[in-house]
Chain A
Amino acid sequence: MGSISDVAPAREMTVRPRLARFRITRDGLSTLVFLLPFLVIFGLFAWFPILRALVMSVQDTNLVSEPTFVGLENFQRVLADPLFGIAVRNTAWFAALALVFGFPVPIILAVIMSEVRRYRGVYSALAYLPVVVPPVVSVLLWRFFYAASPTGVFNTILGWFGVGPLPWLQSAATAMPSIVIEATWAAAGSTVIIYLAALVGVRPELYDAAEVDGASIWQKIRYITLPQIRNVLFVTLILQLIATSQLFTEPLLFTGGGPANSTMTVLLLIYKYAFQNSLGGDYGMAAALSLMLAAFLALFTAGYYWLTRRWSVDS
């Protein structure tokens, strides 16, 4: 099985004439012309900044004074910075919390909503609503909810049950979980829609057959639903892991990285390197840490892709 799929692409490549790659027909020219604006835009706003980041990572530059080449010194300084370890730990902590709480919630919501016969569109819209709220507005709203005084919105609600008041964003122990709750609320809608679309693709006869076999709801979810949407789950999982490692807006607006650096994430640290000093930031260090993060994510994604492909093939 495996050997056939390995051979097929190789044969296809040898059949194609080599010179054909360089022939640009009239259609090809039109394609190129239409492509040109996008190439320029990507070049300007994606590739050029990436190249600049590569250059800046080996420079001592604040974008104001003349830059000087410093080799790998920026990378060494990042690694020696005590905040680097803290930021990595906090980012991993957020990713873990988001995985435990944020990953299952959309699946559960999607499964429940797929079972609902009436008003499914309404529930989808409600689930998606937080996504269309601008992040800054969401955070400001949740900051208000998270007020640590006994009269804060959440603390008032907890008070009805004799719980709290909780410090929420005002304590190192609860700040990150508070951010995870808001982030899950804000992002779950998109994933719910993806899962709902995937669930629609599951053939109903599988459920019918399971029902005939006397399967419970949990068994149907466990043995039919989840395996059928496994590929979508893999993709959303990796997207979520990438997104969580790039957590920035929430800690910046909620806590500024505090209290006492407890919500200082890698991206926030990059921002601090670049913008904390009013006399010109350390853009070299910021670029170095950005590249380190990009390299980590690329390796992680490649490893994850390799693993999930193996799992898919094995199964």
Chain B
Amino acid sequence: MRSTTRRSASVLATFVVITATVFAACSGTTPSSAPSTAPSAGTSAAPSAAEHEPVTIVVGALRPGVTQEAVDALYEQIGQFHDKYPWITVEPEEYNWTAPTFTAALAAGTLPDVFTIPFTDGKGLIAQHQIVDIDSRVRALGYADKFNPNVLVNGQDADGKIFAVPTAAYGMSLTYNRSLFTAAGLDPDAPPATWDEVRAAAKTIAEKTGVAGFASMATENTGGWQLTTATYAMGGRMEEIGADGKVTATVNNDKTKAVLERLKAMRWEDKSMGSTFDYAWGTINQAFAAGQVGMFTGGSDLYTWMIQNASLKPEDYGVATIPLENDPNAGVLGGGTLAAVNVVTTEAERDAAVAWIDFYYIQKLLTEEGAVADAKALAANNQPVGVPSLPIFDKATYDESQKWIESYINVPVAQMTPFTSKIFDQPLVTEPVAHTQELYAALDPVVQAVLTDENADIGALLDAANAQVQAVLDAG
């Protein structure tokens, strides 16, 4: 009896120890340990190339749902990279930045070693020590000073140290379906140049073809993003920064109201916006590629995604600059992508990660060899080459890079002229600086309300959203 009891006690003790150990192991992944793993700035001395210790990095370079040809193109580029850095093994992983999935992966520590983020997230991730200080590594590559300072700043901390490398920049554009324009009796080579013309064209397309003449994204924070785009084009701003650095929400400004009034009129008076009002980034691109949308505002670099993911017919695609109102503050919302390195990496992995960023994202923009190799790999796999974007270095470097790949360009360049011929003359305005995604999220329901409720009170909706954004800003 006693031995049984003792054995039972030992079993119980073992259970307690096991449970405690497992719990301790779990709690070890809690945030309390996170900051201690963050590297201190400037301590990351790059190992000499002679060491050549084998290293493997996981890169988030594979977009979910892309065609096999796009996958083949990526693997060809990985092969080229491996030829240059035989000791580095690159494993591509499916990755697509969306706010909810990124948040979950960030909290769980499951992001790839190299991942991309929008400009708007750079400063926040730096402040939270979630991306690595790669300043010395990037500066060692010799071109850090060539970046457009207004672009590079998105990946720098307050002291100017580089934590993330700009890889692409875009300006908002008016994407339009040339075939629907033709079917509606409109000239696809003369896209709308004012918002009144946009409205008129949308009405014509809807009446003549039965599909939505104009559509707007409205969910997953994209409604706020597009409302901000249209507000900028009218000369309005969503935030104001005081002399003391205090940020004030201004989403209930008159320009935003005017934008929403126009949307309301298009939706309810003209009935030119179709019947779907819950588009997000991916779904509106799919709808456009499927010929269900005449026009929408989005990034100027959507062509690649639409070809790779949505079987876009190239002849349908047209892109023009966004109409700017006659207002001194009117501008084009510009944004872009940063490549960053996961904080949970070793020094050798960080070296390899920066080498990959340099090879995959930068060399094609900076050197003829890199540009030609990239274009060759893409063209050989029927991937778009020559999609318009904005320079992350200076305009001259951008123009030169376009000349290097001239013979490989396979996108319908002429159909993109309404954008490429004008975009460099338009003032670019960066996205709201403070709590950008939360600001966009607060505006999503406003856009949705206007598109789904004929009696929506725009003033009251914007006042409520403004109070909501201000509360977030005040909370810091």
Contacts and interface: CB of A to CB of B under 8 A. Distances in A.
Given A256-B220, A278-B102, A29 B278 contact: no
B311 interface: no
B383 interface: no
A148 B275 contact: yes
A65 B128 contact: yes
B103 A277 contact: yes
Contacts of B445: 258-261
A48 interface: yes
A21 interface: no
B240 interface: no
Interface string A51-63: 0000000000111
Contacts of A25: 4
Contacts of A278: 97, 99-100, 102-103, 106, 117, 121, 437
| Range, interface on chain B | 35 or more
Nearest to B446: A260
A148 B276 contact: yes
Interface in B418-457: 437-438, 441, 444-446, 448-449, 451-453, 456
Contacts of B35: 65-66
A146 to B, nearest CB: 11
B15 interface: yes
B4 A29 contact: yes
B281 to A, nearest CB: 13
B107 A62 contact: yes
A33 B103 contact: no
Contacts of B106: 64, 278, 280
A32 B277 contact: no
A116 B99 CA distance: 52
A159 interface: no
Nearest to B120: A278
A117 interface: no
A40 B19 contact: yes
Interface string B4-40: 1101100110010011001100100011101100000
Nearest to A60: B475
B452 A260 contact: yes
A43 B19 contact: yes
A243 B340 CA distance: 41
Contacts of B448: 258-260
A256 B35 CA distance: 33
B227 to A, nearest CB: 14
Contact of A64 (B23, B128, B276, B464): B128
Given A28-B8, A280-B107, A256 B278 contact: yes
Contacts of A283: 107
A95 interface: no
A43 B106 CA distance: 25
Nearest to B125: A279
Contacts of A277: 99, 103, 437-438, 441
A66 B34 CA distance: 8
A76 to B, nearest CB: 12
B31 A259 contact: no
B272 interface: no
A258 B456 CA distance: 14
Interface stretch (A164-172, A231-239, A296-304): A164-172
Interface in A233-262: 255-256, 258-261
Interface string A22-45: 011110110011001001100110
B314 interface: no
A111 B32 CA distance: 57
A64 B100 contact: no
Nearest to A278: B99
Given A32-B12, A64-B107, A280-B128, A40 B449 contact: no
A172 B452 contact: yes
B8 A24 contact: yes
Given A64-B128, A277-B99, A48 B32 contact: no
B92 interface: no
A219 interface: no
A40 B22 contact: yes
B412 interface: no
Given A32-B8, A65-B35, A259 B121 contact: no
Contacts of A39: 15, 19
B437 A276 contact: yes
B46 interface: no
Contacts of B30: 63
A279 B107 contact: no
Contact of A259 (B11, B18, B451): B451
Contacts of A271: 100
A281 interface: yes
A276 B107 contact: no
B474 to A, nearest CB: 12
Nearest to A174: B452
B468 interface: yes
Interface in B126-167: 128, 130
B453 A275 contact: no
B124 interface: yes
Given A276-B441, A278-B99, A260 B276 contact: no
B413 interface: no
B452 A167 contact: yes
Nearest to A67: B31
Contacts of A279: 103, 121, 124-125, 128, 437
- The winner among B23, B103, B219, B277 for most chain A CB atoms within 10 A is B103
Contacts of A256: 219-220, 278, 280
Contacts of B117: 278
Nearest to B292: A149
Contacts of A172: 449, 452-453
Interface in B236-260: none
B379 to A, nearest CB: 34
Interface in A261-315: 261, 271-272, 274-281, 283
Among all A-B residue pairs, the 5 with the closest Cβ atoms = A260-B449, A279-B124, A63-B107, A24-B8, A148-B275
21 contacts: A24-B8, A29-B4, A29-B8, A32-B8, A32-B15, A39-B19, A40-B22, A43-B22, A43-B23, A62-B31, A64-B106, A64-B128, A82-B464, A147-B276, A258-B218, A259-B278, A259-B452, A274-B103, A278-B437, A279-B124, A283-B107
Given A43-B23, A165-B275, A259-B445, 6 more contacts: A64-B31, A148-B276, A256-B219, A256-B278, A260-B445, A260-B453
